[in-house]
Structures are given as C-alpha cells and as structure tokens.
C-alpha cells in the first residue's frame, strides 16, 4: 500500500482548506468539504473492504451506496487540516444499507464527518443527476458574500444580477446564476433537502445570512466558483455606498455570454 498522506486527494484537501482559511472564509470550525473519490485510486492506499468503524448518516443515501468520499470532520478547524489531516479529515464509504458510512481512514480521535453531511450528500445526488462528472461539494463563509446578504435583496434574480454586474467574467464563470435559500437552521436534513433542490438548477447556493455552497467537477472548479462570487461581492461591498457612475450593462453581459458560448439565465437579465 502507498502512503495515503502523500495521496493527491489528501494533498488537495490540505491545500484547499489552508487556502480557504487564509482567505478568511472559514473561521473556527466554519466550512466543510466533501470530495467523491475513485475506488481504484483509493485502493492504492487503503483496503476499502476493511472499515475501522461505522457511523450513522442520519438519512437514506441509497443513490450513493458504495461511493467513497473524503470529508472534513465535525468541529474541526480548516486552520488545522494541513498539519494534522488524520484527525481533521476522514474517508468514508457509503455502506450497503445506504444509512451508515464505513470509516476507512481518518477521524483518528474518534470524531466523525461534518454535521452538514446530509446537505453534502443530498447535493452530490442532485448534481450527479445533472452532471455525472460532479465530484466536489464545498461550503464556506466568505466574508463579503456574507456581508452582501445583509444589505442586498435575497432574490435569486437580483442577487445574481448584481454579482454579474460587478466583474466582467462573472456571467461566464457562473452563467447558471446563484440559488438563494432564506435563513434556515443548519446541520439538519431540511436544509440539506432545500440545498439539493436548488442544486438541481445551480452550482452555487447561498444560505441566507450563513454562507455559500458550491459544487463542481474538480476542487479548482468548485473553489473558483466561490472565489469569483466572493470577488464580485467584495466589489459590491466596496462600492454599494458610493454613487454608481459606471456599470456593466445587460447588453454587454449578453455580448460576453454569446462570445464565450455559455448558456446563461436569460430571465436573470432585464432586457
């Protein structure tokens, strides 16, 4: 067996959590990531048929039976993942009953996966139906995105439109827009179900007054989606209280979307 601490997926989790922490998006135990792994790849490092222990998932994830994920731990700090991946991360396989997870590696201090696992797994199920290549679900508390939640209307159309206006590339990076949920109690199956419903339509979902979820094929794609929203929200927060002298017009956004050949939410523009 090869050394799992040197595996590309553990390395990616370490780098991504460290980046997110340094950007100020994931204070204390804020944020969580789940990343679906290839069985053959994981088998180079672990015996995938020898679970350390089983952990209750709290809902029926039968669509994901046999799937393997690396997931950040509950109560764990992104700040600490890089130096101690084995305590702060875990690799789980969804068991044959769909309701329990077999721990294959990690959570060494007796811990378990993020309390947001229902939202993650339900989002994976929803995204995989739309895009069979989807692998990553990421949750974070990016500062400006969150600040914008308190001063901007939370309709999907208005929120997306403002973000698109703030950076030329926004409509190209997330032409599908941003879904928005009202404030809801986190860590529950209900917020998981609501998030997954939005994920049928969006790769980005704002949790009102809490943070954001992103989904994508790779860690880079998913991180890049959230990073682009956060950049646009930062421009908004830097300018919202000042007179607006110039703007990117809806006609210019159409020009961008057509030039780059992206299928965008036409109903989110005011044409």
| Smallest separation (angstroms) from ligand 2HA to the CB of 10 | 20
Question: Which of 65, 130, 154, 186 is close enough to bind ligand 2HA by CB under 6 A?
Answer: 186
Q: How many Å apart are CA 71 and CA 249, to the nearest integer?
A: 41
| Smallest separation (angstroms) from ligand 2HA to the CB of 191 | 9
Q: Which is nearer to ligand 2HA, 154 or 186 (CB)?
A: 186
**Region 40-79 residues binding ligand 2HA, contact defined as CB under 6 A:** none
- Residue burial 190-218, b: 16+ Cβ < 10 Å; e: rest: ebbebbbbbbeebbbbbbeebbbbbbbee
| Distance, CA of 165 to chain centre | 23
Q: Which is nearer to Zn ion, 7 or 195 (CB)?
A: 195
Q: Tell me which of ligand 2HA, Zn ion, none is bound by residue 29, counting a contact when its beta carbon lies within the kind-specific cut-off of 5 to 8 angstroms.
A: ligand 2HA
Residues in the chain: 271
CA angle 16, 20, 25 (to 5 degrees): 155
Question: Which of 116, 165, 176, 227 is close enough to bind ligand 2HA by CB under 6 A?
Answer: 116
Q: How many Å apart are CA 271 and CA 269, to the nearest integer?
A: 6
In sequence order, what DSSP letters do the residues of 110-159 get, joined into one string? Answer: S--B-TTHHHHHHHHHHHHHH-TT--EEEEE--HHHHHHHHHS---HHHH
| Distance, CA of 140 to chain centre | 7
Annotated catalytic residue within 12, 27, 102, 116: 116
116 is catalytic: yes
Both ends of the chain: CA-CA distance in Å?
59
Q: Which is nearer to Zn ion, 177 or 211 (CB)?
A: 211
- 145 interacts with ligand 2HA by CB under 6 A: no
Q: How many Å apart are CA 135 and CA 122, to the nearest integer?
A: 13
Q: Which residue is nearest to ligand 2HA (CB)?
A: 186
| Per-residue contact string for residues 198-217; x = within reach of Zn ion by CB under 5 A | -------------x------
- 31 interacts with ligand 2HA by CB under 6 A: yes
- 29 interacts with ligand 2HA by CB under 6 A: yes
Q: How many Å apart are CA 216 and CA 176, to the nearest integer?
A: 13
- Segment near ligand 2HA (CB under 6 A), from 14-22, 25-33, 198-206, 249-257? 25-33
Q: Tell me which of Zn ion, ligand 2HA, none is bound by residue 218, counting a contact when its beta carbon lies within the kind-specific cut-off of 5 to 8 angstroms.
A: none
| Smallest separation (angstroms) from ligand 2HA to the CB of 269 | 32
Q: Tell me which of ligand 2HA, Zn ion, none is bound by residue 32, counting a contact when its beta carbon lies within the kind-specific cut-off of 5 to 8 angstroms.
A: ligand 2HA
β pairing state of 179-181 and 204-207: parallel
- Segment near ligand 2HA (CB under 6 A), from 49-57, 114-122, 196-204, 226-234? 114-122
CA angle 128, 131, 132 (to 5 degrees): 60
Binding site for Zn ion (CB under 5 A): 211
Q: Enumerate the active-site residues.
A: 116
């Amino acid at each position: 067996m090869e050394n799992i601490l040197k595996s590309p997926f553990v390395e990616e989790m370490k780098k991504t959590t460290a980046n997110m922490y340094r950007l100020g998006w994931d204070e204390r135990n804020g944020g969580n990531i789940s990343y679906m792994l290839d069985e053959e790849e994981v088998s180079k490092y672990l015996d995938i048929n020898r679970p350390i222990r089983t952990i209750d998932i709290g809902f029926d994830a039968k669509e994901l039976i046999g799937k393997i994920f690396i997931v950040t731990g509950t109560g764990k700090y992104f700040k600490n993942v890089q130096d101690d991946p084995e305590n702060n991360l875990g690799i789980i396989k969804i068991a044959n009953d769909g309701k329990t997870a077999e721990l294959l590696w990690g959570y060494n201090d007796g811990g378990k996966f993020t309390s947001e696992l229902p939202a993650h797994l339900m989002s994976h199920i929803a995204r995989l139906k739309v895009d069979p290549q989807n692998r990553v679900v990421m949750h974070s508390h990016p500062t400006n995105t969150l600040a914008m939640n308190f001063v901007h209307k939370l309709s999907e159309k208005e929120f997306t439109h403002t973000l698109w206006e703030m950076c030329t590339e926004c409509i190209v990076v997330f032409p599908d827009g941003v879904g928005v949920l009202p404030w809801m109690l986190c860590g529950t199956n209900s917020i998981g179900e609501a998030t997954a419903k939005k994920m049928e339509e969006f790769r980005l979902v704002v949790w009102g007054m809490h943070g954001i979820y992103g989904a994508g094929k790779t860690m880079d794609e998913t991180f890049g989606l959230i990073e682009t929203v956060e950049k646009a929200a930062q421009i908004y927060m830097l300018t919202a209280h000042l007179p607006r002298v110039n703007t990117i017009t809806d006609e210019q956004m159409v020009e961008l979307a057509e030039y780059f050949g992206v299928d965008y939410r036409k109903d989110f523009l005011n044409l």
